[in-house]
Amino acid sequence: MDEVHPGPPAPPHRTAEQLAWAQHLHGLRTPLTVALGRVYLMRRRLRRGDDLAQIDVELETLETALMRLAEAITRLDADRTDF
């Protein structure tokens, strides 16, 4: 890879409704990704026999991510317009 690329093509145009939906999905996927990652890290710590205090920190971060996920679901429910 020696050449400079012209840059990625522009993303497809999206309507305001599609953008709003994408934001909702982003609000769901991001904390879910963080939660999955924290579970992975917690498992790694358990296998290594890490201190319980460190695992407790992981649990706290996991809880925060799950709370964000719950808030995103609440927003989604509040914004629904189809019924």
Partner 1 sequence: MHLSSLDGHRPRILAINNDPAVLDLFRDLLEGEGYQVATHPYVDHDLTEIKTLDPALIVLDYMWATEDGSWSLLQMLRMDPGTAQIPIILCTGAVHEVEALGSHLLEMGITVVLKPFKIDQLLSAIQERLGTEQAVRQRSTDG
**Residues of this chain that bind partner 1 (CB under 8 A):** 1-12, 14, 19, 22-23, 25-26, 29-34, 36-38, 40-41, 44, 61, 64-65, 68
Q: How far is the CB of 83 from partner 1 (least distance, A)?
A: 23
Residue whose CB is less far from partner 1, 9 or 83 = 9
C-alpha dist (Å) from residue 54 to 45, 61, 63, 64, 77: 8, 11, 14, 16, 35
- Shortest distance, position 79 Cβ to partner 1, whole Å: 15
Q: Which is nearer to partner 1, 4 or 83 (CB)?
A: 4
DSSP letter string over 17-74? HHHHHHHHHHHHHHHHHHHHHHHHHHHHHHHHT--HHHHHHHHHHHHHHHHHHHHHHH
Least Å distance, CB 32 to partner 1, is 4
